[in-house]
Amino acid sequence: MTVGNGVFCDTHAHVFGPQAKYPYNPGRAYTPPDAPLEAWLALHAKLGVGRGVLVQPSVYGTDNRAILDAVALHPGRLRAVVAVDAAVADAELARLHAAGARGIRVNLADKGGNPFASPAELERTAARIAPLGWHVEVLAHVHGMGGWTDALARLPTDVVFGHYGYMPAALGADHPEFRAFLARLASGRWWVKLTAPYRLTARSTLPYDDVAPFARALAAARPDRLLWGSDWPHPYIRTNAQSPDDVAMFAQLADWLPDDALRRRILADNPARLYGF
Alpha-carbon dihedral 136, 274, 253, 239, rounded to 10 degrees: -30
Q: Is the pLDDT of residue 232 over 70?
A: yes
What pLDDT, on the 0 to 100 scale, is given for residue 1?
A: 47
Alpha-carbon distance of 79 to 160, in angstroms, equals 15
CATH class of domain segment(s) 8-275: alpha beta
The predicted model gives 88-97 an average pLDDT of: 98
Per-residue burial over 102-134, b = 16 or more CB atoms within 10 Å of its CB, e = otherwise: bbbbbbbbbebbbbbeebebbbebbebbeebeb
Q: How many CA atoms lie within 13 A of 170 on its CB side?
A: 3
**pLDDT of res. 202:** 93
Whole-number CA gyration radius for the chain: 17
Consecutive H or E run containing 154: helix 148-154
Q: How confident is the model at residue 187 (pLDDT cuts 50, 70, 90)?
A: confident
Residue 3 has pLDDT above 70, yes or no: no
pLDDT given at position 236: 81
Res 109: pLDDT = 86
For range 249-265, the mean pLDDT? 96
Closest CA to 35 of 55, 6, 11: 55
Q: How far apart are CA 37 and CA 57, in angstroms?
A: 14
* Mean pLDDT, residues 246-263: 96
Active site members: 231
- Note the pLDDT tens digit of each residue in 124-151: 999 999 999 999 999 999 999 888 999 9
pLDDT at 238: 67
Residue type at 228 in one-letter notation:
W
Structural contact between residues 68 and 25, judged by C-beta atoms closer than 8 angstroms: no
Q: Residue 226's beta-bridge partner residues? A: 192
Q: Can you tell me the mean pLDDT for 33-47?
A: 97
pLDDT at position 71, please? 98
Task: State the pLDDT at residue 240.
Answer: 65
Q: How far apart are alpha carbons 204 and 237 in whole angstroms?
A: 10
Residue 164 has pLDDT above 80, yes or no: yes
* Tens-place pLDDT, residues 170-180: 999 999 999 99
Q: Is 85 helix (H, G, I), strand (E, B) or coil?
A: coil
pLDDT at residue number 94: 98
Mind listing the pLDDT tens digit for each residue in 46-86?
Answer: 999 999 999 999 999 999 999 999 999 999 999 999 999 99
Please tell me the predicted confidence (pLDDT) of residue 237.
Answer: 76
CA-wise closest residue to 232 among 196, 266, 197: 196
Mean pLDDT of the chain: 94
**Contact, 115 vs 136, CB < 8 A?**
no
Cα torsion at 213, 218, 221, 223 (round to 10°)?
-120
Angle between helices 176-187 and 212-221 (to 10 degrees): 30
Task: Using a pLDDT cut of 70, give the percent of the chain over it.
Answer: 96
Model pLDDT, residue 188: 80
